Amino acid sequence: MEPRKLNWQEFFIPRLIKASGYSAILFVVLIFFFLLREGLPALGQVELDVLFSQRWYPIEAYFGTLPLITGSLIVTIGAMIVALPFGIGTAVFMSEIAPRWLREILKPLVELLGGLPSVVLGFLGILLLSPFLRIFLDLPTGLTALAGALLLGGIAVPTIVSIAEDALDAVPYSYREAAWAMGATRWQTIWRVTLPAARSGVLTAVMLGIGRTIGETMTVMMVTGNAPVLAIKLNSIFRPVRTMTATIAAEMGEVANGSTHYHVLFFIGLVLFLISLAVNITASSVVFKSKKRAERVLS
C-alpha cells in the first residue's frame, strides 16, 4: 500500500510542478500575442507620425503617445533615484549591520509596507505630499511627476529591500571573515566583497523594483495630474505628467470595443510590455556576464 501511493505521488507531483513552470511561459506568450493582436491594428489605423506626435487627446483623434512614454519614463527614473539608495542601503543595514533582534523587527515591517494598497498611498499623496511639495518648492501645483516619483519610490523600496536582503544574506559568512582577516574595514567588506558577491540577487531586486514602478497605476493616476505634456526638459519632474498606465486605466473603461482608440490603448500596453521586457533582458544579460567573469576569475 505505502510504496504504491508513493509511486503515484512521484508520477503526479513532478508533472504538476513542471506544468506550473511551463504555464508561466505559456501565459507570457499568450499575453504577448493578445497584445500584438489588439495593439498592432493601431499602426494601420493611425499614421506613424501621428502616433509619435506630441498631442494626446483621444476623443478628437489626437493619438500622440510620446507624452505618455516620456511621462512613464521620467516617473520611473525619478522613483529609482529615490528607491535605489534607500532600498539597497536598508538591505545592507539589515543584513550586515543591524543586530539580530532589530532585523527581526525591521524585516516584517518592510514587508508590511510592501503590502500597503497603492490607493492608500495615493490618498496620502493627494492630501499630504502634493500640498507640501507645492508650498515647499513654490510650484503652481503639487500634482507633479515628482510626487509620483516619491510615492513610487516608496512602493519600490520594500520590493528591493526584501529581495536584496535575501541575496546579501545568502553570501557565505566565510567571505566576510576572509575580508576581515585581511584587514578590510566593515565598509570595505560590504562594498568590495558582500555586495559584489550578491550582485545577481541585488540586480534582480532592482529589476523587480523597476517593474513594480513602471507598472504602478493607481498612485500615479491620483498624484501626477495626468496632463499629457512631453516630459523631456530638466524641469519636467516639477510639472504634471501623464503615464502610460494611468492613460490605459482612465480610458479603457470608456472606449468602444474595436475602435481606433481601443487599439491605440492596446498599442500603449504593448510598448509598456516591451519596455519591461527590455529591462529584464538587460538585467539578466548583466547578471550572466558577471557570472562568467566570476567563473573565469575562480578558474
Partner 1 sequence: MKFKSFPAIILLLLLSACGAGGVQTNSTAETTSYIENKGSDTIVNLALAWAEAYQEEHPDVRISVTGGGSGTGIAALINGTVDIANASRQIKTEEIEQARANGIEPHEFIIARDAIAIIVHPDNPVSRLTLQQISDIYSGKITNWAEVGGEDRPIVCLSRETNSGTHVYFLETVLRLGDSKAKTLFSMETLLLPSSEGIINEVRQNPNAIGYDGLGYVPDDLKIIAVAETDGGEYVLPMISTVNDKSYPIARDLYMYTAGEPTGIVKTYLDWILSTEAQKIVAELGFVPILLYNP
Binding site for partner 1 (CB under 8 A): 55, 57-60, 62, 67, 126-127, 130-131, 134, 140-143, 221-222, 225-229, 239-240, 242, 250-251, 253-254, 256
The minimum distance between CB 76 and partner 1, in angstroms, equals 20
CB of 228 to partner 1, least distance (A): 6
Residue number with CB closer to partner 1 (123 or 273): 123
Cβ 229 to partner 1 shortest distance, Å: 5
Cα separation, 77 vs 114, whole angstroms? 20
Min dist. Cβ of residue 121 to partner 1 (A): 15
C-alpha cell at 248: 490605459
Asked whether the beta carbons of 204 and 167 are under 8 A apart, the reply is yes
Q: With respect to partner 1, which residue has the nearer C-beta, 58 or 87?
A: 58
Q: In the complex with partner 1, which residue's Cβ is closer, 44 or 253?
A: 253
Question: DSSP string spanning 66-127?
Answer: HHHHHHHHHHHHHHHHHHHHHHHHHHHIIIIIS-HHHHHHHHHHHHHHHTS-HHHHHHHIII
- Which of 84, 63, 71 has its CA nearest to residue 220? 71
CB of 224 to partner 1, least distance (A): 9
d(CA 56, CA 267): 14
Set of cell numbers at residue 8: 503515484
* Choice between 234 and 298, CB closer to partner 1: 234
C-beta of 53 vs 200, nearer to partner 1: 53
Amino acid code (one letter) for 200: S
